[in-house]
Structure 1
Amino acid sequence: MTYLLKFGVILTTIIECRFEFTNLKCTSLDKSFLEFQHCYIKAVNRSYKYITIRANVFDLPVYEAITNFDLLKRNNGYLPFLYNITGPVCPFFENKKRFPVSSFITGLFLEHSNFNHRCPFNHDFIVDKLDIGFLNGKFTKLLPFPEEL
């Protein structure tokens, strides 16, 4: 059975070419398969914010999954400006070198998560304390953001 895991990332680009967390929405399309226990942005102070997501998976083990990743920029609504990737998860974890863009995107949060191994997945999905400073370093040094669309 194949399930679609949809992750949407909404980024706000500022003139200095950095971004910040403004909104996070976690929605389960099939609540009998997966439900979000935690999905929030926590602001510790003005400069330190982090994301925590915990998804409880009820139908274990997961042998096949498809993910969708959108990178959006806010400009008269949310517009895709760089990536909209949909693909299978298990072949990606078998050989990450075949998928360089997906490897870059997953590298943004794999250090803060528990799903950095091959299929099958026999546990809940957790992203814990993914902070803005870590992401700013990855994006601004390796992948410059456009200031205008």
Structure 2
Amino acid sequence: MWLPFGLVLMITGALSSTPSKFTGLECQILDPDYFTYSQCKLKVLGRGIIGLNVHARMYQGPLKNAKVNLSLFRKFSGYRPFMFNTTFDFCKLMATSNQKLSFKKIIFDVLSKNSNMNHSCPYDHDFIVRDLVFKPEYFEFLPLPTGEYRLQIMAATNNQWKTSIKVNILIIED
């Protein structure tokens, strides 16, 4: 008698579990003469599927030197630094495809699949990320425990920070 009831509970519990997904997005302009955002939003693509969309318009170019800071935060009574905070030369990263496995390589490999940021410098066009869906396999080489995380991406050129993007992610372990 309890076996069918237990099976029903397990099946409905498995179907109602929340997958890992994007939960928030914030784009901040630090130099409005250099960048503006015509789009910065999360879009529901299907049941439980959230796509990230960003369209940054660049007014000064071409971009020949760029510095990027990647920071990972975990939510513990507010977002606190967690594991990674790295600054690197973006043009050098994009020019060398044989880069060893690192946090920055993982992030930009994911971004290059759904964006036009898939070539080396110079950049003389807008930056567009369209319908990027978070998948747990993106971090298969970087196992993160269940929790809420924030990935902050800051970009600079000519040694001045131009923009900051904060992406909130919910990770659920299987």
Quickly name the TM-score band, shorter chain normalised. Answer: 0.7 to 0.9
Task: Kindly report which structure 2 residues correspond to 1:84-99, keeping only aligned pairs within 5 A, or say none.
Answer: 84-98=85-99
Q: Which amino acid aligns with 1:110?
A: S
- Who is 2:12 aligned against? none
Is 1:110 aligned to residue 109 of structure 2?
A: no
Question: Partners of 1:108 and 1:82 in 2: how far apart?
Answer: 19
C-alpha displacement of 1:20:
2.3
- Who is 2:138 aligned against? 138
Structure that is richer in strand per residue: 2
C-alpha displacement of 1:19:
3.3
Residue 28 of structure 2 aligns to a residue whose secondary structure is coil
Question: Partners of 2:60 and 2:53 in 1: how far apart?
Answer: 22
Q: CA RMSD in A?
A: 1.9
Question: Residue 64 of structure 2 contacts residue 122 of structure 2 at CA under 8 Å; is this kept in 1?
Answer: yes
Question: Partners of 1:55 and 1:115 in 2: how far apart?
Answer: 12
Task: Detail structure 1 runs of 4+ shifted over 6 Å in the superposition.
Answer: none
Residue 115 of structure 1 aligns to a residue whose secondary structure is coil
- Give CA deviations for 1:5-58 in whole Å, capped at 9, x if unaligned: xxxxxxxxxxx9x63212100011101001111000112344111100000000
C-alpha displacement of 1:66:
0.9
- Who is 1:35 aligned against? 36
Structure exhibiting the larger radius of gyration computed from Cα positions: 2
* Structure having greater relative contact order (Cα 8 Å, sep ≥ 6): 2
- Correspondence for 1:120 among 119, 122, 128: 122
Question: Residue 62 of structure 2 contacts residue 124 of structure 2 at CA under 8 Å; is this kept in 1?
Answer: yes
Check 1:121–1:99 CA distance in 2 against 1; reply closer, same or farther (3 A cut): farther
Check 1:44–1:105 CA distance in 2 against 1; reply closer, same or farther (3 A cut): closer
Q: Which moved more, 1:101-110 or 1:30-39?
A: 101-110
Structure 2 spans left out of the alignment, 5+ residues:
1-16, 148-174
Structure 1 spans left out of the alignment, 5+ residues:
1-15
Q: Which amino acid aligns with 1:143?
A: L
Q: How many residues were matched structurally?
A: 129
Question: Residue 71 of structure 2 contacts residue 81 of structure 2 at CA under 8 Å; is this kept in 1?
Answer: yes
What's the TM-score once normalised by structure 2's chain length? 0.67
Check 1:99–1:33 CA distance in 2 against 1; reply closer, same or farther (3 A cut): farther
What's the TM-score once normalised by structure 1's chain length? 0.78
Residue 26 of structure 1 aligns to a residue whose secondary structure is strand
C-alpha displacement of 1:104:
1.4
Percent sequence identity over matched residues? 29
